[in-house]
Amino acid sequence: MTSKLLPHNEHNIERVLRIVLGLGLLSITVVGPQTLWGLIGIVPLATGLLGSCPLYTLFGFSTCPVKSAKT
C-alpha cells in the first residue's frame, strides 16, 4: 500500500539536491534574515528524505532510472 501512496519517483541525485536545498532554506530561520519563510524548506527536505514527490505522482512523472523488465 505504501508503494502506491509514496512510490519512489526521484533520482538519487535529485534527492540529494532536495535535501541540501531544504537544509539551506531551513537555515534561513536561524542564520541570516531569520524569517519564517525558511520553513518552506521542510517540503524539499521531506520529499528528498522520502524519495517521493506528490506532484510527480499526481502527474505520472518520474526521474528514477527505468528498470528494464526481464522477459
Q: Where are the domains of the chain?
A: 2-59
With contact defined as beta carbons under 8 Å apart, do 41 and 28 qualify?
A: yes
Give dist(CA 15, CA 45) in Å, integer.
Answer: 9
Is pLDDT of 1 > 80?
no
pTM, entire model:
0.85
Tens digits of residue pLDDT in 26-39: 999 999 899 999 99
Neighbours of 53 (CB within 10 A): 25
Report pLDDT for 55: 93
Is pLDDT of 71 > 70?
no
